[in-house]
A and B are shown apart, each in its own frame.
Chain A
């Protein structure tokens, strides 16, 4: 069931929220052995919440998410509910507060059923960096669901919940949505509060919806968007009713196609599906316009210089002191011996037990990809290399941003594939980090430029692997993205095709 159908059933009294919740929990329980989409189930919390909604139907009669089960990516804080970022570092961490998006979902009637598996600290493109094992793609369990919000995308694709929240630093909502055949929207930077999102790249991170239809994504975005006093980067722009933008009318909409960028290497079946989707949009009245984004080809290196620098800084807080994991230090092997009052031996700070505790906590608490990115970020920020790498990357970021500004003088939306390839096999790329990074070629520039972007299912490969069309829009113009996505869905009902039901 979609969000729209679920809330209608609850609001009208046709079905109790408790029953809908129980069924969602049962589906998750039955599938998790195969999919591994959830790190933590919130069965009791969800059930009592759903029962509370059933007890007070009057209060929830107009609630946009009345009784709708929602899955939350495990890097978004939930009060009293374990939030791990799929890291050993936070394996036992129980937040004392809710992220703003979580509070807003619950105020709108949502029932939070659990926390979804993801790449560790949202670093990866395949979900394989999770400390709790990879999520498996519902369309083919030998393949990756994409990353980093792979658990959220897989949960929605397998119809375990009608919708989920993900987070997107370089494509982490859109790429798994594409690989799992669902709709995923990364909002404009500042559109949604980041308060309670475990920080990865603070100038890039956004939380956004994953759902099966553009309509459901519009409902969910409307609930979570808006200014928040707890996030100084959240924007005061008013939040429209996004569902009213879904008119089905594309007359006058200009869609830009960056032909040169697409020659960077796109799988043949993906390329063909994108071409067919663009023709479908044209048939509905949209105009296709060739555009150039000359610096977009540099977005991947720029992204990995900027995001790792920000990550190395953000993750410095994990030191085993205030919360999270702390490594045990083995007892000293050498007894320092008796001291004379005037010549007290002092261990330099750099070699102190405290310093050892920090370094060992981080060595044992972080996985390989997180360490690699902390190392890269530390390097590019270090004296002597700052100008050559970090500053240079920030300057190219400006050029990428200007390319889009120029394009949006001529078009309303930019279209390209979300991912150059369909779902790849687990294990295929994990040993070569650079090859993994190249998967993000089409998604990272929206984060660098702070623009909203959506991935919409646009077909399947011959092997029944989903393909996603990505649409990027002007700042704070999520409405046009959702309108185009919805119009496309009206002519192409890909969401009626379901993956096989996973069994234990």
Chain B
């Protein structure tokens, strides 16, 4: 969207918005710190805007030849009870992970 005029610093409000997207609770000191530091880093990263990339395809990964295709067959996996036992709040008998209530 914006090819020019990237922000060289972020406002506290913008940082709070990003934090909400990232599921991070930040305190006031962190909001100020990240507003400054993310601004510095983005200003530095802005140098990539100078490079002409017209017609250049993006590289997301450098896998040359891969072995992703395999037979679709049932294989042993981890035991459900063992996996649940790693959880902070498991319901072993029911086979659930428990979380704080979502509604109400």
Chain A neighbourhood of B46, CB < 8 A: 301
Bound-state Cα–Cα, A396 to B34, Å: 26
Q: How far is the CB of A108 from chain B (nearest CB, A)?
A: 22
Q: When the two chains form their complex, are residues B25 and A96 in contact, meaning their CB atoms are under 8 A apart?
A: no
Residues 345 to 391 of chain A near chain B (Cβ within 8 Å):
345-347, 349-350, 352-360, 362-363, 366, 368, 371-372, 374-376, 378-379, 382-385, 387-389, 391
Q: When the two chains form their complex, are residues B2 and A336 in contact, meaning their CB atoms are under 8 A apart?
A: no
Bound-state Cα–Cα, A354 to B34, Å: 25
Q: Mark B70-89, 1 if CB is under 8 A from A, else 0.
A: 10000000100011001111
Q: When the two chains form their complex, are residues B67 and A302 in contact, meaning their CB atoms are under 8 A apart?
A: no
Chain B interface, DSSP helix/strand/loop, else mixed: loop
Does B99 touch A at the CB level, under 8 Å?
yes
Q: How far is the CB of B29 from chain A (nearest CB, A)?
A: 11
Q: When the two chains form their complex, are residues A326 and B24 in contact, meaning their CB atoms are under 8 A apart?
A: no
Chain B neighbourhood of A336, CB < 8 A: 104
Bound-state Cα–Cα, A155 to B15, Å: 39
Q: Could you say which of A44-52, A228-236, A410-418 contacts chain B?
A: A228-236
From A229, A302, A350, A388, contact of B3 by CB (8 A): A388
From B6, B23, B26, B44, contact of A316 by CB (8 A): B23
Instruction: Indicate whether A398 sits within 8 Å of B57 (C-beta atoms), given known contacts A235-B65, A349-B102.
Output: yes
Does A422 touch B at the CB level, under 8 Å?
no
Q: When the two chains form their complex, are residues A97 and B78 in contact, meaning their CB atoms are under 8 A apart?
A: yes
Q: When the two chains form their complex, are residues A346 and B48 in contact, meaning their CB atoms are under 8 A apart?
A: no
Chain B neighbourhood of A362, CB < 8 A: 22-25
Q: How far is the CB of A204 from chain B (nearest CB, A)?
A: 9
Q: When the two chains form their complex, are residues B56 and A399 in contact, meaning their CB atoms are under 8 A apart?
A: yes
Q: Could you say which of A33-41, A267-275, A317-325 contacts chain B?
A: A317-325
Q: When the two chains form their complex, are residues A371 and B41 in contact, meaning their CB atoms are under 8 A apart?
A: no
Chain B neighbourhood of A94, CB < 8 A: 86
From A93, A301, A324, A344, contact of B45 by CB (8 A): A301
Residues 295 to 312 of chain A near chain B (Cβ within 8 Å):
295, 298, 301-302, 304-305, 312
Chain B neighbourhood of A391, CB < 8 A: 58
Q: When the two chains form their complex, are residues B26 and A395 in contact, meaning their CB atoms are under 8 A apart?
A: no
From A237, A356, A388, A475, contact of B49 by CB (8 A): A388
Chain B neighbourhood of A346, CB < 8 A: 103-104
Can you pick out 19 interface pairs between chain A and chain B where the beta carbons lie within 8 Å of each other?
Answer: A96-B83, A232-B66, A301-B48, A323-B88, A329-B100, A339-B104, A346-B103, A353-B102, A354-B102, A360-B25, A362-B24, A363-B24, A363-B26, A376-B42, A379-B42, A382-B21, A398-B58, A401-B62, A449-B62
Q: With contacts A203-B61, A399-B51 known, what are 10 further pairs, Cβ within 8 A?
A: A203-B60, A229-B70, A235-B66, A305-B45, A312-B22, A323-B86, A346-B103, A366-B24, A378-B18, A388-B1
Closest 5 CB pairs of A and B: A450-B62, A394-B58, A326-B88, A353-B100, A395-B53
Residues of A within 8 A of B (CB): 93-94, 96-97, 189-190, 203, 227, 229, 232-237, 295, 298, 301-302, 304-305, 312, 316, 319-326, 329, 336, 339, 344-347, 349-350, 352-360, 362-363, 366, 368, 371-372, 374-376, 378-379, 382-385, 387-389, 391-399, 401, 433-434, 437, 448-450, 475
